[in-house]
Structure 1
Amino acid sequence: MARCDVCGNDYDKAFTVTTPTASGTYDSFECAIHALAPACAHCGCRIIGHGAEHDGRFYCCAHCAKHAGVKGIDDRV
């Protein structure tokens, strides 16, 4: 069995995710998200959807981007 890099659970169905910059073993998508998904620069939640990016900073939504002072980002036009 393999041990999850996030929670330490030793699980027979663990999986490995490899990106161009990192690799890790996880027992669930939840743990993989905590390890790999970027955090919103405003509220800190993990971004598991498209999100928004401005000047190298990631936001979970246009609302958070606007609160951080970003102009021109809308959830819907």
Structure 2
Amino acid sequence: MARCDVCGNDYDKAFRITLADGSSGTYDSFECAIHAVAPTCEHCGCRIIGHGAESGGRFFCCAHCASHAGVEGIEDRA
């Protein structure tokens, strides 16, 4: 069995995620994986599990949050 890097649970169905930079982690659930590797919205603080929006190296969960942070030109719909 493998131990989750986030919660410490020793689980026979744990999985490993390797990021593009070569770092990796072991997780027992998608919830723990999201907590560990998903970026955080700069405005509201939620974890970005969809496409989100990026501007100048800043990450946002949606155009609404980006606009509240002063970013222009990002729309949720084209």
Q: Give TM-score scaled by structure 1 length.
A: 0.96
Gaps of 5+ in 1: none
- In 1, Cα distance between the equivalents of 2:13 and 2:64? 38
1:17 is the counterpart of 2:13: no
- In 2, Cα distance between the equivalents of 1:4 and 1:16? 9
SS of 1:17's equivalent in the other structure is strand
1:7 is aligned to 7
What root-mean-square deviation, in Å, do the aligned CA atoms of Structure 1 and Structure 2 show? Answer: 0.8
Displacement of 1:20 in angstroms is: 2.1
Displacement of 1:61 in angstroms is: 0.1
Stretches (4+) displaced over 3 A: none
Gaps of 5+ in 2: none
Aligned length: 77
Overall identity of the aligned pairs, in % = 79
1:26 is aligned to 27
Q: Give TM-score scaled by structure 2 length.
A: 0.94
Aligned partner letter, 2:77 = R
Aligned partner letter, 2:63 = A
Deviation per CA, 1:1-60: give whole Å up to 9, x if none: 110000110101000111122100000011001111100011110001010000000000
